[in-house]
């Protein structure tokens, strides 16, 4: 064989998505799952059963844990997602799988078509690479405005955020007031580790995004997400051209 010709080989397995299911890890996940479920049930009792409480599902691993806890236990919590129009194909496949697996239809919110057209015509199809300001403006059109519509009339919303995910989420509480959106915000998995998230998924055979096995621990829009190298921070693949301190889209940034 010509030495100059390279042969493509399958990537090695991603150990992060297949943690060793030790007795200790199983016990911890069982305890934390029960705590998270109790928090969700208490939230239903506090905020109501008629759509006052909603879960924002972006179909990452953490969100799949919450999806399973909510839908497997038939909790009256609205599950919604934001389709930015630039999600990876694997994410769309997972949306369909979730609806089939749990026998439900998710609430999907889309950005305003006119606003997207105006942004692209003014700045370009991939303007988010040009500056942090334009990237945040793109997120504003594709994520923030649909989120405001999704949260309209709600009393509280639930996220899959974890404190260990990035420097922008350090010290994340289980519950906080979201002043930007004017309602309570619950983060049931705030103290979970990545290994605990994946142990729950493996133990309960929860569907997940196929990109996770390809070293994508954090998945957003396709142009703004890449795989990470061994040893990199789990959020390193999101907006990788920016400094870690700016790596939020606006959905989870507190007002000063």
Cβ count near 166 (within 10 Å): 20
Q: Residues 6 or more apart from 207 whose CB is under 8 A from it? A: 64, 94, 97, 98, 101
Residue 249's alpha-carbon distances to 108, 136, 253, in angstroms, are 18, 6, 8
Amino acid 252: pLDDT: 41
Which pLDDT band, with edges at 50, 70 and 90, does 12 fall under? low
Catalytic residues: 249
Cβ count near 157 (within 10 Å): 24
| Bridge partner list, 185 | 157, 176
Q: Is the pLDDT of residue 34 over 60?
A: yes
Q: Is the pLDDT of residue 123 over 90?
A: yes
Judged by DSSP in three states, 140 sits in: helix
Which pLDDT band, with edges at 50, 70 and 90, does 248 fall under? low
State the pairing for strand pair 107-109/78-82. parallel
Averaged over 229-252, what is the pLDDT? Answer: 73
Q: Is the pLDDT of residue 256 over 70?
A: no
Q: Residues 6 or more apart from 99 whose CB is under 8 A from it? A: 105, 106
Q: Residues 6 or more apart from 139 whose CB is under 8 A from it? A: 128, 249, 250, 251
Question: What whole-number distance in Å separates Cα of residue 239 and Cα of residue 221?
Answer: 10
Amino acid 247: pLDDT: 53
**pLDDT tens digits, 188-221:** 999 999 999 999 999 999 999 999 999 999 999 9
Amino acid 7: pLDDT: 40
State the pairing for strand pair 175-178/183-186. antiparallel
Question: What whole-number distance in Å separates Cα of residue 119 and Cα of residue 111?
Answer: 12
- Is-contact 146 58, C-beta < 8 A? no
**pLDDT tens digits, 92-106:** 999 999 999 999 999
pTM for the full predicted model: 0.87
Amino acid 250: pLDDT: 45
Question: What whole-number distance in Å separates Cα of residue 123 and Cα of residue 118?
Answer: 8
Q: Is the pLDDT of residue 251 over 60?
A: no
**pLDDT tens digits, 58-93:** 999 999 999 999 999 999 999 999 999 999 999 999
Tell me which residue of 108, 75, 253, 101 sits closest to 166, measured CA to CA: 253
Q: Which domains, ranges and CATH numbers included, belong to the chain?
A: 20-214 (3.40.50.620)
How would you class 34 by CB atoms within 10 Å of its CB: exposed for 0-12, middle for 13-18, buried for 19 or more?
Answer: exposed
Joined together, the tokens standing for residue 111 give 């950005």
- ∠24-30-33 over CA atoms, to 5°? 135
Amino acid 71: pLDDT: 98
- Is-contact 158 55, C-beta < 8 A? yes
Q: Is the pLDDT of residue 108 over 60?
A: yes
Amino acid 6: pLDDT: 39
């Amino acid at each position: 064989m010509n030495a100059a010709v390279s042969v493509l080989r399958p990537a090695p397995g991603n150990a992060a998505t297949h943690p060793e299911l030790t007795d200790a890890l199983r016990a911890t996940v069982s305890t934390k799952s029960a705590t998270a479920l109790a928090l969700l049930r208490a939230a239903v009792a506090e905020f109501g059963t008629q759509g006052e409480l909603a879960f924002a599902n972006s179909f990452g691993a953490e969100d799949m844990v919450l999806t399973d806890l909510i839908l497997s236990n038939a909790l009256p919590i609205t599950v919604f997602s934001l389709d930015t129009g630039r999600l990876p194909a694997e994410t769309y496949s997972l949306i369909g799988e979730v609806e089939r697996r749990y026998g439900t239809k998710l609430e999907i919110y889309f950005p305003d078509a006119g606003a997207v057209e105006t942004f692209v015509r003014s700045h370009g199809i991939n303007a988010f690479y040009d500056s942090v300001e334009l990237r945040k403006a793109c997120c504003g059109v594709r994520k923030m405005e649909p989120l405001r519509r999704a949260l309209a009339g709600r009393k509280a919303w639930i996220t899959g955020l974890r404190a260990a995910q990035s420097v922008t989420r350090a010290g994340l509480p289980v519950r906080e007031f979201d002043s930007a959106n004017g309602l309570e915000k619950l983060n049931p998995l705030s103290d979970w580790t990545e290994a605990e998230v994946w142990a729950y998924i493996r133990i309960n055979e929860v569907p997940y995004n196929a990109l996770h096995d390809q070293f994508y621990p954090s998945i957003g829009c396709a142009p703004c997400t890449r795989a990470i190298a061994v040893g990199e921070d789990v959020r390193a693949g999101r907006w990788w051209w920016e400094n870690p301190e700016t790596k939020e889209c606006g959905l989870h940034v507190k007002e000063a």
